[in-house]
Amino acid sequence: MSFQTEQEEFWAGDFGDKYILRNQSDAYLASNLNFFSDAMRKIVKPENVIEFGANIGMNLMAVKMLFPDILVSAIEINHKATTELSKSLPEIEIFNQSIYEFQTDKQYDITLIKGVLIHIPPEKLSVVYEKLYRYSKRYILICEYYNPSPVTINYRGHSNRLFKRDFCGEMLKTYKDLRLVDYGFKYHLDPLFPQDDITWFLIEKQ
């Protein structure tokens, strides 16, 4: 697999392998179920969803609990993660490749991205925005760290690996047929279902 950016190599390699071990537990799945029950409360029953950067499938497993009949697809750059993903969701359609390289003739009721846009270098964001938009039949769900203006933050001792900004606002400005349906925030000190200070935005194509 060839890479366009150093961030892709970072997540496809050893750091991405170790990330798998930090993000799997029953408690994390329960928090995700609570998270998506809020974030998807205004979605009309979807038939399918594709997640951009699905890792081992903790998000899609929660979505599948909410919508048992939904067909799930995933783009994931890390090979070890896709192996675990196929075990957790045997019926899943997996694209083991970079988001930048992903192409399909299909559209999905929901394009989902959670904790991934923050790791996309700013010069590549427009590529990902375009794919989230193009492959969505109706909904786009963005779940990321929010900041009103772009900032770069050190990530676990690594520079140029985490970027915060108003991802939703940028998409709404770029694609005029999108409208904001709902949004919310999950706090890392929530006593029952903590998340990593993530703000979510549900967008719909008009």
pLDDT digits (tens, 9 = 90+) for 41-90: 999 999 999 999 999 999 999 999 999 999 999 999 999 999 999 999 99
Chain centroid to CA 63 = 12
Tell whether the model's pLDDT for residue 7 goes beyond 60.
yes
Phi-psi region of 107 (alpha: psi -120 to 50; beta: other; left: phi over 0): beta
Our CA angle for 67, 72, 73, nearest 5°, is 160
Q: What is the pLDDT of residue 22?
A: 59
Q: How many helices (H) and strands (E) does the chain have?
A: 7, 9
pLDDT band at 155 (very low <50, low <70, confident <90, very high): confident
Say what the pTM is.
0.93
Pick the CATH number of 6-205 from 2.70.150.10, 3.30.1440.10, 3.40.50.150, 3.40.50.10860: 3.40.50.150
Any idea what the Cα angle at residue 30 is, between residues 156 and 194, rounded to 5°?
45
Between 22 and 98, the higher pLDDT residue:
98
Average pLDDT, the chain: 92
The C-alpha atoms of residue 174 and residue 185 are separated, in whole angstroms, by: 23
CA distance 3 to 5: 6
Instruction: Look up tokens 């909904």; give the residue.
Output: 139
pLDDT score of 13: 55
Nearest to 135 by CA among 66, 65, 75, 56: 75
pLDDT of residue 8: 66
Residues 6+ apart with CB under 8 A from 80: 16, 17, 20
C-beta of residue 147 within 8 angstroms of C-beta of residue 117: no
- Where exactly are the structural domains of the chain? 6-205
| pLDDT band, very low/low/confident/very high, at 17 (cuts 50, 70, 90) | low
- pLDDT for the residue 16: 52
DSSP 45: -
Radius of gyration of the chain (CA): 16
Share of the chain above pLDDT 70, in %: 89
Residue 9: pLDDT over 70: no
Taking a C-beta distance cutoff of 8 angstroms, is the pair 40, 104 a contact? Answer: no
Mean pLDDT confidence for 22-50: 93
Going by pLDDT thresholds of 50, 70 and 90, the confidence category of residue 107 is very high
Non-local (6+) Cβ contacts of 134 within 8 A are 107
Determine contact, residues 72/89, Cβ cutoff 8 Å: yes
Amino acid at 32: N
